[in-house]
Amino acid sequence: MLLSMTACGAKEEAPAETTAAAAAEAPAAEAAAETYVVGVCQLVPHVALDAATQGFVDRLTELLGEENVEIKVQVAAGDSATCAPIVTDFVAQEVDLIMANATPALQAAAAATADIPILGTSVTEYGVAMGIEGFDGTVGGNISGTSDLAPLDQQAAMIQEWFPDAKTVGLLYCSAEPNS
């Protein structure tokens, strides 16, 4: 969706003869002047999540122009249940895109709409988060995004290199998060 929105641009005046291809481009040129509305649902104020949201907002406004995009950021204050009414409101407003920042935001957005495109970020494992059996890396439907899954085998090798005499290594995770 982002590529299609940014591919549109101002056209030079066309000659009197209009081809079928040129006629097909006319609606796309008109769409470039349109303002897109993007809803961002972020689970909690946090340095990493705030940076992900800000990076998304910065790049989107850079690509589309500040005058062509309206971004509505809502933060659920750390309450997973609050993500549902946030994204439900975005669906009622018929936003053009939802950016879901963190697993509960993604899950709420997926439950709220199968039509509005959803981009997820700060999601470790989409297959687990979305309950997809045999996940192959593609969610499908209206959902896409980025994963923050760390290469655990490389981290284990690094720990062994740095601490070759270590007998026990602890790993912290959040048991309340489904894909932690």
What mean pLDDT is predicted for residues 96-117? 97
Contacts of 62 (CB under 8 A, 6+ apart): none
Over residues 113-131, the mean pLDDT reads 92
Cα–Cα nearest to 38, from 21, 56, 25, 50? 56
Which among 129, 127, 70, 120 has a CA at the least distance from the CA of 100?
120
Question: Position 38: which residue type?
Answer: V
- pTM of the full structure: 0.73
Pairing of strands 97-101, 36-42: parallel
Query: CA 108 to CA 103: how far, in whole Å?
Result: 9
Residue 7's pLDDT is 41
At 14-33, the pLDDT tens digits run 444 444 455 455 554 455 56
Each residue's pLDDT tens digit, 146-169 = 888 888 889 889 999 999 999 998
The pLDDT value given to residue 180: 66
